[in-house]
Chains A and B, each alone.
Chain A
Amino acid sequence: MLASDGAAIPMAGGTDLLVHWPVHVEAHERTYVDLSPLDPLKPLRWTADELLLGGLTTYWDVIRDARAGEEFPLLVDAARQVGAIQIQARGTWAGNIVNASPAADGVPVLMAYDAVVVLESRRGREEVPLDRFYSGYKQMQRRPDQLVVGIRIPRRRYAYQVFEKIGARRAQAIAKVGLAVTRSGAGWRVVAASVAPTIRRCPAVERLLETGAAPEGPDDLLPTIAQDVAPIDDIRSSAHYRTRVMARVLYHDLRDFWGQRA
């Protein structure tokens, strides 16, 4: 069906598609493919070397998985900040990826854990690392006939991991700035949300962390951050505020790490 109708929209929990549904008259004319009966896509699975989220695994599924809280605490941290239980019970990780909001909460932590998007269509299976999935605002490496059937997350030992979401209030808010930082044998990963047209890694900040060179204060980070992000002014915040907050949060979170080097 996705293959024959290039404009059909797969629907999982519907938490993005149904917002203000009665007044979105133009959305009523489109074709939707209800994924909810696809039971095999619902559970999350642990293997020896990865956590596999299904295409229909919800935030609540991950929040209630004790091992996820131990091994991938940022997944649980982020999931608990997506709306509240009513959204967490319906919203899916795969839906968060393909909705492609620059302010997504699930995507930054998945990216900081080097998640890989598993796409399937009649033409076969394809895997795209999440940090290469987005090419521009709401643009992604997914053909209309492809469905996100899973998300692979490699199991690694993390020496450092933190997720920060700055919003207008603690619950039910959309991020003004989101930040996920991890450090493993694979290196540092710094992922920022709401400061660019897509969720993206911050290679300049990652390089700075690899050198171990300590900034004197948050403002020292601004030139590095400027290489990685391109925030805008919008209804939720201003570009100036977003950049400064990102610098302060990053500095505050990593002060201990940098302090050890100083």
Chain B
Amino acid sequence: MEISLTLNGSPVSLTINPGDRLLDTLRYQLALTGTKEGCGEGECGACTVYLDGLPVNSCLIPTYQVRGHRVETVESLDPGALEPFERCGATQCGACTPGVVMTAWWIRQHPELLGTHSIRELMAGNLCRCTGYDGIVDSVAEALRGTGGKRET
């Protein structure tokens, strides 16, 4: 089947199978390999992308459900988005990092969420097996204080 969506700000049309997962479409059909597969069950958050502006697990989304919608992947972020994570020692093997950075920059775009939620709660859907979480939480706090990250287009 043929579908259209807005991907990282640009209109895209492609042919998919109804059973394709968004994660696989992004990685194998569109060569956007920044999005990683971790657990494949919606727990680890390595495959986090934005769907209509909200972080979601792309391993749990049939690609046909995003027809007509807006999807953003880690490739839409400015490379500078990584800086707070490098400074705070919040990266090691890198498998979780794209997802972590996606959720972190979503929080940065919605600082009002910190009126009801802690950084830790908002980051709970991104598991990291290397660094422990203090560095990640510090990085998000630093990102919230700083500027940049989202690519200006």
Chain A interface (Cβ within 8 Å of chain B)?
A: 11, 13-15, 18-22, 28, 32, 34, 36, 60, 63, 80, 83-87, 89-90, 170-172
Contact = CB atoms under 8 A, between A and B. Distances in A.
Interface string B50-62: 0100111101111
A171 B65 contact: no
Interface residues of B, number: 32
Interface stretch (B41-49, B74-82, B84-92, B144-152): B41-49
B42 A21 contact: no
Nearest to A23: B40
Nearest to B50: A89
B45 A19 contact: no
Contacts of A60: 54
B48 to A, nearest CB: 6
A80 B121 contact: yes
Nearest to B69: A36
Interface of B: 18-19, 21, 24, 40-43, 45, 48, 51, 54-57, 59-62, 64-65, 103, 106, 116-117, 121-127
Given A22-B40, A83-B43, A84-B45, A36 B65 contact: yes
B60 A15 contact: yes
Contacts of A20: 40-41
- Closest 5 CB pairs between A and B? A84-B125, A171-B124, A89-B54, A84-B124, A18-B60
Contact of B41 (A19, A34, A89): A19
A80 B116 CA distance: 11
A42 B65 CA distance: 15
Nearest to B126: A84
B62 A86 contact: no
Contacts of B54: 60, 85, 89
B41 A14 contact: no
Contact of B62 (A19, A34, A80, A170): A34
Nearest to A12: B65
B59 A18 contact: yes
A186 to B, nearest CB: 29
B40 A11 contact: no
Given A14-B62, A20-B41, A86 B125 contact: yes
Contact of A18 (B18, B62, B125): B62
Given A19-B42, A86-B45, A14 B61 contact: yes
Nearest to A66: B116
A86 B65 contact: no
A91 to B, nearest CB: 9
